[in-house]
Structure 1
Amino acid sequence: MMMPAVSRNALLLGIFAVLCTGAIALVNVLTQPVILQQEQIALQNNINELIKPDRYDNNIIESCFTVVDSELLGDSTPKQVFIAKQYNQPVAALIQTNTFKGYSGEIKLLVGIYADGTVAGVRINSHTETPGLGDKIQTNKSDWIYSFDGTSYQADQDDKWEVKKNGGSFDAFTGATITPRAVVFAVKNTLMYFNQHKSTLFNTAATCGDL
């Protein structure tokens, strides 16, 4: 007995959907190591940019350990922290964080904070924001990210940690407010985390080894 045309087409569509799903899953498995490698390269480059060589004398990459704070550091995934020291005294902490408040998904950042609580700098490790708009958070697209340099967080000035459109101190991009607002929020929360855990951060032994 021949299968009705409608049933045959439904079966073919089902097989096609299964094949497509399998192909997408395979591509994800194959490309994930490459993506992670690229993120690690970006991370190391960003570390070198945020803390100048004459400011420290230890091996920052080997000074790494992980922390978890789902409230202030984006989500519950472990975040790497790198400590810069000079003459065995803490100079700065470089803290990974992320945010899902962007326009197109997750934005991963590295926030460098000097021991006195001022921002050494901020860099974007990875993102999927809209080219020509949200990607202006990259240093090769605009100088916007440098607006965090030298800033600090004080609870009584919390309202300044917003884009100017919302009464804050930070510029937004023409045609794009969501992305800069998300980055400002993430940097502010990272500074809050640093202020709350400064002593612990500068006295934690390295545990995560080489990248």
Structure 2
Amino acid sequence: MMMLPAISRNALLLAIFAIVCTGAIALISVLTRPIILEQEQIALQNNINELIKSDRYDNKIIETCFTVVDGELLGDKIPKQVFIATKYNKPVAALIQTSTFKGYSGEIKLLVGIYTDGTVAGVRINSHTETPGLGDKIQTNKSDWILSFDGQEYQDSADDNWEVKKDGGSFDAFTGATITPRAVVHAVRDTLIYFEQNKTQLFNTPANCGDK
């Protein structure tokens, strides 16, 4: 019986090992995805409750939603959910999901609440993979930086406030980490621009969250 040369034998073992590892990673990804999606949904619900105070609306916001697509202003061409808060059947605010890949490490998913007059009700991070101790200060349990968006508004393209201070704007950056806050500031700004361009449509689109 012919024996494989040592080099060939080692190459074969490495190939088998790589295949097994790839399969294991793929399996783990498939098994954990439902858990990740569930956690994101819980975070989304919690964020909605934080952004719009209960006395400002009387509808079920989580059920009053629809999807939109805007690859330029909302991060990518993946459909984003928009939630509408109303009181006495009149619109109060839109809560728009958006995302950015311009952070330091992967995608940052946000929820931006905007009142009908264009002012920011608040911003929350739904998920991210930014560096612990630096970029994760966008979370409310790490710092209150994200609260600096409350009450802000976007005027026009000449409004250079929508930059971190290092770039001549009004938003603080983190010590040793400018990329993450810059990405979030720009994402919120772009969401405000999207809102102004589509406000009438947003507040007149029927909810279809439960549609199959």
- Per the TM alignment, residue 160 of structure 1 is displaced from its structure 2 partner at its CA by 1.2
Deviations 1:11-67 (A, max 9, x none): 000000000000000000000000000000000000000000100011111101000
Alignment of 1:80-159 (within 5 A): 80-159=81-160
Give the ranges of 4+ consecutive aligned residues of structure 1 lying more than 6 Å apart after TM superposition. none
CA-to-partner distance for each residue in 1:83-106, whole Å, 9 max, x for gaps? Answer: 000111110000000000000100
Aligned to 1:167: 168
**Percent sequence identity over aligned pairs:** 81
**SS where residue 27 of structure 1 aligns?**
helix
- Where 2:75 maps in the other structure, the secondary structure is coil
Find the counterpart in structure 2 of residue 29 from structure 1: 30
Segments of structure 2 that go 5 or more residues without pairing to the other structure are none
Q: How many residues align?
A: 210
Segments of structure 1 that go 5 or more residues without pairing to the other structure are none
Superposed counterparts of 1:30-109, under 5 Å: 30-109=31-110
TM-score, reference length from structure 1 = 0.98
Residue 158 of structure 1 deviates from its aligned partner by 2.7
SS of residue matched to 2:143: coil
Partner of 1:190: 191
Secondary structure, counterpart of 1:49 in structure 2: helix
Aligned-residue CA RMSD (Å) = 0.9
Deviates more, 1:147-156 or 1:98-107: 147-156
Distance 1:62 1:35 in 2: 21
Shift of 1:4: 0.5
Residue type of the alignment partner of 2:54 = P
| Counterpart secondary structure, 1:20 | helix
**SS across alignment from 2:159:** helix
SS class of match (1:74): coil
